[in-house]
Amino acid sequence: MNENELTGLLESLRRMGSDDLNVEVKESATTLSRDVWETVSAFANTAGGIIVLGVSERAGFVPVENFETEKVLNQFVAGMGDAGGRGKLANPPKYTIERVELRGTVVLVITIEELDPSSKPCYVIERGAQGGSYKRIDDKDVPLSSTEVLALSSYERTSPSDRDAVPGAGVGDLDEALVDRTIERAFSLTPRAMHGATDKKTKLERLNFLDSQGNVTKAGLLVAGAYPQQFYPKLFIDVAVYAGTQKGAAGSLRFMDRTICEGTLGEMISDAVAAVAKNLRRTSMIKGVSRVDSLEIPEEVLREAIANAVIHREYGDRFCGQSIAVDVFDDRIEVTNPGGLYGGKTRENLFDGSSRCRNATLVKLMSLAPLPDGAGSPAEGNGSGIPMMLDAMRAQGLAEPLFCPGFDRFKVVLYRAKVEQIDHGGDLIVAALKRNGELGTRELAECTGLTVSQVRVRVNALIAQGELEPTAPATSRNRKYRLTERAGQLH
């Protein structure tokens, strides 16, 4: 980096009034402060960045007076563990140092490389103890949570947690009919694994429903338990539908519809897909001589996103208190699961078609267990899921899914089709009521093509305008809506 490039970089920061996601300036006139190492840790754990030593943010991003370049440089090199002694960091990143003249003063420009995922996290060591690990958010160095550190530390390891014994659970807590159907499929699909398994207990152990001591495994309970949430109350899928494109003003929650999907993993997947689908628009197209209805987002894409969240989430004890969230907005659907990338998967190779398996036992069982709605098995494990999602969204003229890996969570964003909002008096709803007299919310959705949440928003607006009136209290299942006398005069 030359002086002109550095001047341009600092001028950009000066106009913003602060550091940014990728650049941090420190005065450090004679001595490095501890927060320099927090920034190194944050850049190493996130996406790399540049540290400029010898520049004052408070004075307007100009060089500090009497900056002792060589003394500070030597302190930094020593702190990185490259001067023969103990450094300030565990798992330090690679870096380069440049001396750049700026307004007559030689300052230090240090480029920090992001660590390979298998080497994360980078820790700050303080007085012989681990002083913490950080991530970069905007211009701040933010401490990693305990679950983020755990997720990064176990990046290359398949999780043994899916084979853990479930305290208090026995064979009687499994759904016998579902277990039998899974065993039947196993004999058909993986006959070698079942060779010589003649009694029920041996079959259950071969498939890892039970461990070698006869205890029910976590994978076995989640795949075929009568009610897994008896043992893990938070292991469910929370489907929430919101009005608009945000969760509400100042972070407040305003649900238009909400479904808590419990049961086995297969049941949760099927119920979550249905809960989302009922809040999506449907489109019709002619194929041959028939009219075919389809969701605005391909159902196979929706199912894949939810199944991936269920199958590849982290099931360690530290994560079992976290549910999977499926948030439905007017313009998108977000599917978020606990547990980040693992097993060599990175942002760069996410789309290469290779499969990595955090929960090996769980994935194997899920590939054998039939889904309750007859849609096959929810796990194929061949790495074809993401390419399929990309192709299906493109084929329907939709934006490609956005994949957002985090330290201890993973989010997929599915963008809905852009449609013109019909908010000017609720014309579609008024027209439907003129034709049919009285209709409920779901009937209005079917008549107008709007989602249930969109109908509710417009119905409330029309009631406030005095054009609609309900036929029963809000708590009544028989509540419908009809036009008021005033609406008849207006329309």
Q: What is the pLDDT of residue 374?
A: 61
At 291, the pLDDT band (50, 70, 90 cuts) reads low
Lowest mean pLDDT among 242-251, 341-350, 400-409: 341-350
| Average pLDDT of span 113-142 | 83
Looking up tokens 């012989």 gives: 128
CA angle 389, 393, 394 (to 5 degrees): 115
Rounded Cα distance, 52 and 6, in Å: 9
Smallest Cα–Cα separation from 136: which of 339, 348, 406?
A: 406
Higher pLDDT, residue 146 or 249 = 146
> Kind and range of the H or E element at 182?
helix 176-189
Contact yes or no for 198/182 (Cβ under 8 A): no
At 353, the pLDDT band (50, 70, 90 cuts) reads low
Respond yes or no on whether the N-terminal peptide bond of residue 121 is cis (omega within 30° of 0).
yes
Is it the case that residue 463 has pLDDT exceeding 90?
no
Rounded Cα distance, 138 and 156, in Å: 28
Contact yes or no for 235/323 (Cβ under 8 A): yes
Contact yes or no for 272/261 (Cβ under 8 A): yes
pLDDT by residue (tens digit) across 264-275? 999 999 999 999
Q: What is the pLDDT of residue 266?
A: 93
The letter for the amino acid at 397 is G
Q: What is the pLDDT of residue 178?
A: 94
At 348, the pLDDT band (50, 70, 90 cuts) reads low
Q: What is the pLDDT of residue 360?
A: 84
| pLDDT > 90 fraction of the chain, expressed in percent and rounded | 43
Q: Which residues, 6 or more positions from 459, have their beta carbon under 8 angstroms from its beta carbon?
A: 426, 429, 441, 444, 468, 481
Q: Which residues, 6 or more positions from 489, have their beta carbon under 8 angstroms from its beta carbon?
A: none
Rounded Cα distance, 387 and 480, in Å: 44
Calculate the alpha carbon distances from 222 to 163, 189, 273, 303, 433 in Å: 11, 21, 18, 18, 46
Residues in the chain: 491
Contact yes or no for 481/466 (Cβ under 8 A): no
In this structure, the number of other CB atoms found within 10 A of the CB of residue 88 comes to 22
Higher pLDDT, residue 290 or 440 = 440
pLDDT by residue (tens digit) across 190-241? 888 888 888 999 999 999 999 989 999 999 999 999 999 999 999 999 999 9
Is it the case that residue 422 has pLDDT exceeding 60?
no
Smallest Cα–Cα separation from 193: which of 377, 2, 368, 441?
A: 368
Rounded Cα distance, 112 and 22, in Å: 10
- Average model confidence (pLDDT) for the chain? 85
Contact yes or no for 117/37 (Cβ under 8 A): no
Lowest mean pLDDT among 23-27, 98-102, 463-467: 463-467
| Average pLDDT of span 342-367 | 70
Looking up tokens 């030689």 gives: 106
Q: What is the pLDDT of residue 286?
A: 60
* Predicted TM-score (pTM) of this structure: 0.65
- Widest Cα–Cα separation across the chain: 89
| Average pLDDT of span 446-474 | 83
For residue 402, what are the β-bridge partners? 413
Distance of CA 299 to the CA centre of its chain: 19
Q: What is the pLDDT of residue 124?
A: 92
Q: What is the pLDDT of residue 489?
A: 61
Smallest Cα–Cα separation from 273: which of 186, 175, 375, 182?
A: 375
| Average pLDDT of span 281-289 | 68
At 252, the pLDDT band (50, 70, 90 cuts) reads very low
Is it the case that residue 250 has pLDDT exceeding 50?
no
Q: Where are the beta strands (DSSP E) in 252-361?
A: 255-261, 282-287, 290-295, 324-328, 332-338
In this structure, the number of other CB atoms found within 10 A of the CB of residue 188 comes to 10
Is it the case that residue 333 has pLDDT exceeding 60?
yes
Higher pLDDT, residue 48 or 419 = 48
